[in-house]
Amino acid sequence: MKVVVLAGGLSPEREVSLSSGSKIANALMEKGYEVLLLDLYLGIKDVTNIDSLFRKMEDQNPYQYQVPKEEPNLTKLKEDSGNGGILIGENVLLLCQYADKVFLALHGSIGENGQLQAMFDIYGISYTGSGYIGSLLAMDKGLSKVIMQKHGIETPDYIVADLTEEQELEKTLMLPCVIKPLSCGSSVGVSIVRSQEELGKALDYAKKYENKVLIEELIVGREFSVGILNHHALPLIEIIPKTGFYDYTNKYQAGMATEVCPAQLEDEISIKMQEAALKVHEVLQLGFYSRVDFLLKEDGSFYCLEANTLPGMTPTSLLPQEAAAIGISYSKLCELILLG
């Protein structure tokens, strides 16, 4: 069985995606699949011998990629590649059609917002993860919050602001708050704002990635994540950053956060959070797997932050740790997702 692991892309999360993709590709080779790790944005120019592009375990040539500390410079990537604003690289569709299945290891933008899934449906390309509807609903943080609230799922209060329009946000915001781009993940562009002086800098940072931002009530509490696999909730994992909050650096640099799985929580709260995660997964119409993030206050109440349709699969990612807690190895997890 030939598998394209599709990663990278013109996304602020491309580095995380390439790290996820390399690990997934190696795991699938271990399971006996022929694998091509393919960058969605850069593509491959020479496809004269397509079969030779797919690696096997016996080739002794594993994929490797480490997430840099800095977020990617997408302007430089566009200049160096010569692709301009074309989001799908040369021969990507051809290679995805040639493969038996595409494992989506993408994060952010076209990979998670439903565009790619819709196009793959049109071309008859089989892929992992959620379909285009679920991807769209989960990726737009404002839209997903509307749906969660409609179904009685607690989520922090928020407003959506378009930074291209004239608005006097300083006069309307309740501080402290969290500012994040509306459709990004991996905590790129995210700031915690505690004073008016910090607001302008936070808005400028978010605007680097997107003009629409989510301005959310700051909930102070412990952070948890619940993986969903084949419509079953995995054990909770608690994330404890060593400094600051769970930002881009703390997520993807080894040793920057402590992760406890299974989380040390009363059974009653754990079960309720797992039930809430499953409900979020269902109302957003997600597929074989996802990961749902929560904050827990001291009084035992908890709030859903968002759902991730293509959770990170890097060496420090949460979903593989949750699966391992119930005896599912990393390579087995990748195979389950591939065949799910």
Which numeric CATH code is attached to 138-154+220-339?
3.30.470.20
CATH class of 2-128: alpha beta
Cβ-based neighbours of 316, under 8 Å, separated by 6 or more: 251, 252, 253, 254, 257, 259
**Catalytic annotation on 109?**
no
Look up 13 and say whether it is catalytic.
yes
Q: What span, in angstroms and rounded, lies between the C-alpha atoms of 102 and 21?
A: 11
Place of tokens 């109302």: 283
Confidence class for position 167, pLDDT limits 50, 70, 90: low
| Listed residue (15, 122, 6) closest to 131, CA to CA | 122
Rounded to whole angstroms, how far apart are CA atoms 43 and 38?
A: 6
- Of the candidates 11, 225, 290, 317, the residue annotated as catalytic is 317
> Which listed residue (11, 186, 187, 225) is catalytic?
186
The pLDDT of residue 244 is 55
In contact, 182 and 192? CB cutoff 8 Å: no
pLDDT band at 184 (very low <50, low <70, confident <90, very high): confident
Q: Which comes out higher in pLDDT, residue 333 or 253?
A: 333
pLDDT in tens, 40-99: 999 999 999 999 999 999 888 899 888 888 878 888 888 888 887 789 999 999 999 999
Higher pLDDT, 77 or 262: 262
More confident residue, 311 or 257: 311
Locate 256 and state its tokens. Answer: 């920057």
Q: Which residues contact 41 (CB under 8 A, 6 or more apart)?
A: 8, 9, 10, 14, 77, 81, 83, 87, 88, 89
Model confidence band, residue 257 (pLDDT cutoffs 50, 70, 90): confident
Measured in degrees and rounded to the nearest 5, phi and psi for residue 140 equal -85, 105
Number of C-beta neighbours around residue 151 at 10 A: 12
Which CATH code fits 158-217?
Answer: 3.30.1490.20
The whole-angstrom separation of Cα 309 and Cα 287 is 8
pLDDT on residue 108: 83
Average model confidence (pLDDT) across the chain: 90
DSSP state of 77: H
**Binding site as annotated, residues for Mg(2+):** 293, 306, 308
Q: What whole-number distance in Å separates Cα of residue 181 and Cα of residue 186?
A: 11
Residue 247 has a pLDDT of 47
* pLDDT tier at 246, thresholds 50, 70, 90: very low
Instruction: Evaluate if residue 188 carries a pLDDT over 80.
Output: no
Higher pLDDT, 174 or 287: 287
Q: What is the pLDDT of residue 250?
A: 43
Q: What is the DSSP letter of 71?
A: P
Is 20 noted as a catalytic residue in this protein?
no
pLDDT at 2 over 90: yes
Cα 2 to chain centroid distance, Å, stands at 24
Instruction: Concatenate the DSSP letters of all residues of 96-145 into one string.
Output: HHHSSEEEE---SHHHHSSHHHHHHHHHT--BSS--HHHHHHHHSHHHHH
In whole angstroms, what is the distance from residue 162 CA to residue 209 CA? Answer: 13
pLDDT at 170: 60
Give the annotated binding-site residues: 293, 306, 308
Reduce the DSSP state of residue 241 to 3 states and report it. strand
CB within 8 A of 123, min separation 6: which ones?
Answer: 93, 96, 97
Residue intervals in the chain for CATH 3.40.50.20:
2-128
> Is the pLDDT reported for residue 254 higher than 70?
no
Q: What percentage of the chain reaches a pLDDT higher than 90?
A: 69
Residues 112-152: tens digit of each pLDDT: 999 999 999 999 999 999 999 999 999 999 999 999 999 99
Residue 197 has pLDDT above 70, yes or no: yes
CA distance linking residue 114 with residue 135, whole number of Å: 5
pLDDT of residue 253 exceeding 80: no
Q: How far apart are alpha carbons 298 and 219 in whole angstroms?
A: 11
Of the listed ranges 186-200, 220-234, 281-295, the least confidently predicted one is 186-200
Q: Residue range 307-330: average pLDDT?
A: 93
- Average of per-residue pLDDT across 7-32: 93
Q: Please indicate whether residue 235 or residue 173 has the higher confidence score (pLDDT).
A: 235
Whole-angstrom Cα distance, residue 317 to residue 19? Answer: 10
Residues in the chain: 340
- All CATH 3.30.1490.20 domain ranges in the chain, comma separated: 158-217
Give the least confident one: 29-38, 111-120, 162-171, 325-334. Answer: 162-171
Q: Which residue from 19, 81, 7 is spatially nearest to 45, judged by alpha carbons?
A: 81
Q: Which of 13, 210, 216, 335 is catalytic?
A: 13
